[in-house]
A and B are shown apart, each in its own frame.
Chain A
């Protein structure tokens, strides 16, 4: 790349080239806006569908906008004696928040140790952690189910929390982040007489804000949206999480798109709000990980 030196001779665009560049930007914006509309279309279809009455939604040909927008689908869901939507929200929140708290603690502690201490067998142990990330969940799913059965945790929210408490990716990510924290801070703590646990809680943890936020939000969203594992573990109605509930109205006895779309709105919107609020952390985190 010997030509790099000449890059300094690039001047701000002007004249005919400037206009062309301008045109290029306008064209680019138009294309990207069109792509955005296409991306948003399914969401729009969901929202519009959730406000259509049951008679309108089965009409042929279908309408695009609801002719008589109604909240009746939401009312039906909230008053359905077979569906305790509040309970499902609570279940999803309990599982997601518990896993987040546990994961943040175990990942930051293990990440701290791998980043800042040297001990016998360290590389072997860390390679083992990385290697477990390669194992597809479906391979572990059947034995994990059998372990839960032995522990009596089938059909319990514990069954969704306990296996997720230690996360290989979280440890890896925390180690990377903690390596950037100067060791001098720890030494200063030691001189002040802090124990190793004291250093972890009072020196390291306060420095981890951004990393904890990123990992926490990623973990929360992953658990909130998780489907296969709750589908395997949870059997009784009142212990369902939201994604399991979602398929209820599309099942055999209902096949009702108006209720399904309203339920989808109820499940999808909280995550979209979390995403909108924490956009920066989330996008960074995904860019960093790529596999959640």
Chain B
């Protein structure tokens, strides 16, 4: 992401009179805002790090500093060491980390495989229906994810759902979509596939509009020139359009990964806390349950830091892989 942090380096500083008035304004208006931000981001971030070194429950009275110490004892790197052990919570953690990674790495390519061609197709539409298409394909994205999860839960219902109704009509055998622990396709549990499709349906709108905006930014001449040179539509797509989308692709990949690592709503609502057999238990669900159901906030804080670490690593790797040196 090339964020133009220093885009406006004008030398017009303090033009006109009253530079002291300006300084006062900046100080008095910005300081409270920044302190507020520090209070709700940096301070909790540090607190989260501290928590991960303690065994902490809010119900226990601890030491004077943030309730840490005392009945909430210091365990050092104990939580992180525990993650590698065979304890039940460590196994839950490792399962959920694995599921989260599986989820994110399946969602990303599937999402791109849908949204890029779809964006190119919508951009190629020459009628007024173009806006209508964009409007409809974006509808799921503005829909409440809890609503989405409930609607899809009903679609997937083994006896009353639409999907099995369709399968029966075309002569295929119905599926127990969300609660059959023995059904696997390509090594991935059926329940997770079902959730991935729901997620893709809801999430594709973001990337779609980003790709459409990016395509509108590519000068038409490039594609037309390729056509004049005798390229067919596939060659235009692979040789011209896709390479020019690369900066957008980086942004989209990073953002899609970040949001799919944080999936929670649809899984919490569609499955019963990640069941069957924790096949759909993702990391955020595990963090939520540890912290707010079992009151193990130190452990949950350590898990959250691992989530942060994974997010950072994946982001940096993607930026390395997809970085481009040129612009248009």
A60–B5 contact, CB under 8 A? no
Q: How far is the CB of A179 from chain B (nearest CB, A)?
A: 5
Number of interface residues of B (CB under 8 A): 120
In the bound complex, what is the Cα–Cα distance between A274 and B36 (angstroms)?
A: 30
Could you mark each residue 104-146 of chain A with 1 if its beta carbon is under 8 Å from any beta carbon of chain B, else 0? 0010011001010111000101111110101111111111111
A287–B210 contact, CB under 8 A? yes
Contact residue among B141, B291, B312 (Cβ-Cβ distance under 8 Å from A142): B291
B29–A7 contact, CB under 8 A? no
Q: How far is the CB of A9 from chain B (nearest CB, A)?
A: 7
Q: How far is the CB of A202 from chain B (nearest CB, A)?
A: 14
A61–B255 contact, CB under 8 A? no
- Whether a CB of chain A sits under 8 angstroms from the CB of B135 is yes
A147–B44 contact, CB under 8 A? yes
- Residues of A240-292 at the interface with B, using a CB-CB cut-off of 8 Å, are 242-243, 246-247, 250, 257, 260-261, 264, 267-268, 271-272, 274-276, 279, 282-283, 286-288, 290-291
B143–A271 contact, CB under 8 A? yes
B152–A42 contact, CB under 8 A? yes
- Whether a CB of chain A sits under 8 angstroms from the CB of B23 is yes
Q: Tell which of B7-15, B77-85, B88-96, B181-189 binds the partner.
A: B7-15
Q: Which residues of the other chain, A, contact B155 by a CB distance below 8 angstroms?
A: 42, 45
Contact residue among A60, A140, A286 (Cβ-Cβ distance under 8 Å from B160): A60
- Whether a CB of chain B sits under 8 angstroms from the CB of A216 is no
Given A62-B159, A227-B145; A275-B139 close (CB under 8 Å): yes
Could you mark each residue 76-120 of chain A with 1 if its beta carbon is under 8 Å from any beta carbon of chain B, else 0? 000000000000000000000000000000100110010101110
Q: How far is the CB of B47 from chain A (nearest CB, A)?
A: 4
Q: Tell which of B104-112, B258-266, B273-281 binds the partner.
A: B258-266
Q: Which residues of the other chain, A, contact B161 by a CB distance below 8 angstroms?
A: 62
Specify the main secondary structure of chain A where it touches its partner: helix
- Residues of B103-161 at the interface with A, using a CB-CB cut-off of 8 Å, are 118, 121-122, 124-127, 129, 131, 133-148, 150-155, 157, 159-161
Give the most central of B15, B41, B261, B305: most A CB within 10 Å: B41
A261–B255 contact, CB under 8 A? no
A45–B124 contact, CB under 8 A? no
Given A28-B125, A39-B139, A261-B154; A115-B221 close (CB under 8 Å): no
Given A257-B157, A271-B144, A290-B206; A32-B22 close (CB under 8 Å): no
Could you mark each residue 17-43 of chain B with 1 if its beta carbon is under 8 Å from any beta carbon of chain A, else 0? 110011111100110011011011111
Closest to B144 in A: A225
- Whether a CB of chain A sits under 8 angstroms from the CB of B322 is no
Q: Which residues of the other chain, B, contact A60 by a CB distance below 8 angstroms?
A: 159-160
Give the most central of A110, A183, A228: most B CB within 10 Å: A228
B146–A246 contact, CB under 8 A? yes
- Whether a CB of chain A sits under 8 angstroms from the CB of B60 is no
- Whether a CB of chain B sits under 8 angstroms from the CB of A166 is yes
B34–A130 contact, CB under 8 A? no
In the bound complex, what is the Cα–Cα distance between A1 and B271 (angstroms)?
A: 52
Q: Tell which of A67-75, A189-197, A205-213 binds the partner.
A: A189-197
A25–B48 contact, CB under 8 A? no
Other A-B pairs, 6, CB within 8 Å; known A143-B44, A242-B144: A10-B227, A25-B127, A49-B154, A59-B160, A143-B45, A146-B297
Q: Which 8 A-B pairs have the closest CB atoms?
A: A196-B25, A143-B44, A143-B47, A287-B213, A3-B225, A225-B144, A140-B44, A243-B146
